[in-house]
Amino acid sequence: MKILVTGGAGFIGSNFVFYMMEKHPDYDIVVLDKLTYAGNLETLESVMKNPHFKFVKADIADRDAVFDLFEQEKFDVVVNFAAESHVDRSIEDPGLFLTTNILGTQVLMDACRKYGIGRYHQVSTDEVYGDLPLDRTDLFFTEETPIHTSSPYSASKASADLLVQAYHRTFGLPVTISRCSNNYGPYHFPEKLIPLIISRALADESLPVYGTGENVRDWLYVEDHCAAINRILEDGREGEVYNIGGHNERTNLQVVKTILKQLGKPESLITFVTDRAGHDLRYAIDPAKMMNELGWQPTTTFDEGIRRTVEWYLDNESWWKSIISGDYQNYYERMYAER
Q: Is 331 tagged catalytic?
A: no
Q: Is 238 tagged catalytic?
A: no
Q: Is 126 tagged catalytic?
A: yes
**CB of 297 within 8 A of CB of 233?**
no
How is residue 44 annotated by DSSP? G
Pick from 243, 246, 16, 229: which is nearest to 126 by CA? 243
Phi, psi of 155 (to 5 degrees): -65, -40
Distant-in-sequence, close-in-space partners of 322: CB < 8 Å, separation ≥ 6: 42, 328, 331
Out of 28, 84, 127, 280, which one is annotated catalytic? Answer: 127
Out of 19, 120, 129, 153, which one is annotated catalytic? Answer: 153
Out of 126, 131, 224, 280, which one is annotated catalytic? Answer: 126
Pick from 285, 328, 308: which is nearest to 131 by CA? 285
Orientation angle between helical segments 104-115 and 63-73, nearest 10 degrees: 30
Pick from 199, 252, 216, 19: which is nearest to 137 by CA? 216
Q: Which residues are part of the catalytic machinery?
A: 126-127, 153
